[in-house]
């Protein structure tokens, strides 16, 4: 068996999940039905060619290699027949060993898509602020929304990026630099005073698009930590941010 030498360096990957996504997409595999034997061989062949000096990074790639080998060995084991009286334990034993890995890969792809959208917005329009028309040109069916998931946040961010520009109101504004840490601190202080507020209340009329993106990332990070609650009554309406309580 001849293996093609990989020309991509480790620096091009953010971690083992990034490498796995690359290998899966390169071979056009169905992510819900990963050919675990094939992907394991490719993954092991790839990391053998790497000269990793950072032990922490190396351990992450080796841990994923061990996980792939464990999944591969689990799939080779014969499945028990349903003669056992304990059907619940039997179902757990016969569960697809790839399930957890697939869930991690799908979640990683969502976050990577968010990062790519933000990068695209920053590179293309970071020096320009557009004022958008809040009136939608098409009607939307009412749909109640509770706490926002990663999918819904991704949809909101995609909508922000894809809204039509109002060229007549185009303005060039001096670029301001903000950090996620600064915006998290600002959000904390605002929640101490108000307990809850709308996403748009974080900005003034002179706020830049880059500032809005940084605020969005700060809220995303706080929501991921479970420190704030993010709600939206229906699609495209204001996003409500509130302090998370023990009952939430």
Mean pLDDT for all residues in the chain: 74
Distance CA 148, CA 34 (A): 29
SS3 232: strand
**How many other C-beta atoms can be found within 10 angstroms of the C-beta atom of residue 36?**
21
- Beta strands 171-172 and 128-129 are antiparallel
Per-residue pLDDT, 3: 37
Distance CA 146, CA 13 (A): 35
Per-residue pLDDT, 138: 47
Per-residue pLDDT, 192: 87
> For a pLDDT cut of 70, what percent of the chain falls above it?
65
Model confidence over 151-195: pLDDT tens digits? 777 777 777 766 665 554 555 555 556 788 888 898 888 888 888
What angle, 0 to 180 degrees and rounded to 10, lies between the N-to-C axes of helices 36-48 and 55-76?
Answer: 150
CA distances to 58, 160, 179, 200 from 142, in Å: 49, 19, 36, 21
* Per-residue confidence band for 110, with pLDDT thresholds at 50, 70 and 90: confident
Q: From start to end of the chain, where are the E strands? A: 128-129, 145-147, 171-172, 196-198, 228-232, 239-243
Per-residue pLDDT, 221: 86
Please give the average per-residue pLDDT across 16-20, as a whole number. 89
Task: From 179, 190, 182, select the one nearest 241 (Cα to Cα).
Answer: 190
Lowest mean pLDDT among 7-21, 143-157, 178-192, 231-245: 143-157
Distance CA 44, CA 66 (A): 10
194-227 b/e with 16+ CB inside 10 Å = b? eeebebeebeeeebbbbbbbbbbbbbbbbbeeee
> For a pLDDT cut of 90, what percent of the chain falls above it?
10
Lowest mean pLDDT among 139-148, 177-186, 210-219: 139-148
Which residue segments constitute the domains of the chain, with CATH numbers given?
1-76 (no CATH), 128-133+142-243 (1.10.10.580)
Tokens at 2, concatenated: 């001849």
Q: Is 19 in contact with 61 (CB distance < 8 Å)?
A: yes
* Per-residue confidence band for 224, with pLDDT thresholds at 50, 70 and 90: confident
pLDDT at 219 over 70: yes
pTM of the model as a whole: 0.46
Spatial CB neighbours of 236, under 8 Å, sequence gap ≥ 6: 136, 140, 159
Q: Burial level of 96, CB count in 10 A (0-12/13-18/19+)?
A: middle
């Amino acid at each position: 068996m001849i293996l093609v030498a990989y020309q991509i360096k480790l620096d091009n990957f953010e971690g083992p999940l990034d490498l796995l996504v690359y290998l899966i997409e390169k071979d056009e595999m169905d992510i819900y039905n990963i050919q675990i034997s094939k992907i394991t061989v490719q993954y092991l062949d790839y990391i053998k060619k790497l000269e990793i000096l950072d032990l922490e990074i190396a351990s992450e790639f080796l841990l994923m290699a061990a996980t792939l080998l464990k999944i591969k060995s689990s799939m080779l084991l014969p499945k028990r027949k349903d003669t056992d009286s304990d059907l619940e334990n039997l179902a757990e034993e016969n569960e697809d060993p790839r399930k957890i890995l697939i869930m991690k890969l799908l979640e990683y792809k969502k976050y990577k898509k968010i990062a790519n959208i933000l990068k695209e917005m920053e590179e293309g329009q970071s020096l320009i602020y557009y004022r958008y028309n809040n009136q939608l040109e098409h009607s939307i069916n009412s749909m109640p929304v509770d706490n926002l998931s990663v999918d819904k946040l991704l949809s909101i961010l995609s909508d922000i990026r894809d809204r039509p520009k109002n060229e007549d109101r185009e303005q060039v504004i001096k670029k301001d630099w903000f950090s996620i840490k600064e915006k998290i601190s600002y959000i904390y202080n605002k929640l101490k005073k108000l307990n809850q507020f709308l996403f748009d209340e974080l900005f003034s009329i002179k706020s830049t698009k880059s500032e809005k993106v940084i605020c969005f990332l700060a809220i995303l990070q706080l929501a991921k930590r479970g420190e704030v609650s993010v709600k939206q009554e229906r699609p495209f309406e204001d996003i409500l941010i509130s302090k998370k309580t023990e009952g939430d």
